[in-house]
Amino acid sequence: MDFLEPRYIPMNRRRRIYEGKAKILYEGPEPGTLIQHFKDDATAFNNKKHQIVDGKGVLNNRISEYVFMHLNAMGIPTHFIRRLNMREQLIREVEIVPLEIVVRNVAAGSLSQRLGIEEGTVLPRSIIEFYYKSDELGDPMVSEEHITAFGWATPQEIDDMMALAIRVNDFLSGLFLGVGIRLVDFKMECGRLWEGDMMRIVVADEISPDSCRLWDIASNEKLDKDRFRRDMGGLVEAYQEVARRLGILVDNEPPANGGPRLVQ
């Protein structure tokens, strides 16, 4: 049971709104809110590779909370309200724009493969890409032409999402640089938040080592989901290292049988 949240609704009495690969969304305690639950499932390559990684959900919940709290504090609008417990956070209900927005600072992954650029090459400037969220199609890359022609977002919304993506990239790059980590690239999602007749685009979903490429500055060691995608092992240890450097995890505590010990 969670001692932080007295109004916690038992899991079996909640209405499940949506279950994704790594998270579940439940109905929230008030209209316009949802509960975002982080699972331990790790998937890659559109679910072809799937594994349960003990403790991953807890770490992503904490790391994503940390990032979203700071984004909110900087006036970058997000869906995040507050963390409820080890695996869950309270969020505002938004209409998810069916796009993944990828920002790249350093060549890696699909960019390196597609364009034959060696991984680790610093890009001449940050590059923003859009992918259409569709499991059946394997999240294909799309252009602004596709997005507006098919009505996934308006030109104004694309502008808003790009402006948000640049601010998030600047914030995250600085945050990680300060703890000796290079932000190679990351993926974010946006949602439409309705407030009466007004709608604005906010940052939604999660930002965690599942959705970023994070390399140790000194050693280039990977501290992100590529450890899973590339069968390198040590996924939880890498996420713990990210949490530890951000000051979320207690330093000198052995990760005993109870799993990672987290500070408040």
Binding-site size, ligand TMP (CB under 6 A): 12
Task: Pick the stretch among 27-35, 45-53, 83-91, 216-224 that binds ligand ASP (CB under 6 A).
Answer: 45-53
Give bridge partners of residue 233 from the DSSP assignment.
Answer: none
Query: How far is residue 241 from each of residues 109, 128, 181, 238, 250, measured CA to CA in Å?
Result: 22, 28, 10, 5, 11
CB of 231 vs ligand ASP, minimal distance in Å:
13
In the complex, which residue's CB is closest to ligand TMP? 109
CB of 139 vs ligand TMP, minimal distance in Å:
5
Place of tokens 């059946």: 136
Task: Pick the stretch among 44-52, 88-96, 191-199, 236-244 that binds ligand ASP (CB under 6 A).
Answer: 44-52
Q: Is the CB of 21 or the CB of 244 nearer to ligand ASP?
A: 21
Work out which of 27, 29, 43, 170 binds ligand ASP, going by CB under 6 A: 43
Work out which of 93, 157, 160, 185 binds ligand TMP, going by CB under 6 A: 185
21 sits near ligand ASP (criterion: CB under 6 A): yes
Binding-site size, ligand ASP (CB under 6 A): 8
Q: Judge whether 126 and 103 are in contact, CB under 8 Å.
A: yes
44 sits near ligand ASP (criterion: CB under 6 A): yes
Binding mask 138-157 for ligand TMP (x = CB under 6 A): -x------------------
CB of 112 vs ligand TMP, minimal distance in Å:
8
187 sits near ligand TMP (criterion: CB under 6 A): yes
Residue list 92-131, contact with ligand TMP (CB under 6 A): 102, 108-111
DSSP one-letter string for the chain: --SS-TTPPPGGGSPEEEE-SSEEEEE-SSTTEEEEEE-SEEEETTTTEEEE-TTHHHHHHHHHHHHHHHHHHTT--BSEEEE-SSSEEEEE--EE-SEEEEEEEE--HHHHHHHT--TTPEEEEEEEEEEE--TTTT--EE-HHHHHHTTSS-HHHHHHHHHHHHHHHHHHHHHHHTTTEEEEEEEEEEEEEEETTEEEEEEES--STTTEEEEETTT--B-STHHHHTT---HHHHHHHHHHHTT-B-SS----TT---B--
Task: Pick the stretch among 42-50, 81-89, 111-119, 164-172 that binds ligand ASP (CB under 6 A).
Answer: 42-50
CB of 187 vs ligand ASP, minimal distance in Å:
8
Could you list the residues that contact ligand TMP (CB under 6 A)?
102, 108-111, 139, 185-187, 211-213
Interface with ligand ASP (CB under 6 A) = 21, 43-47, 225, 229
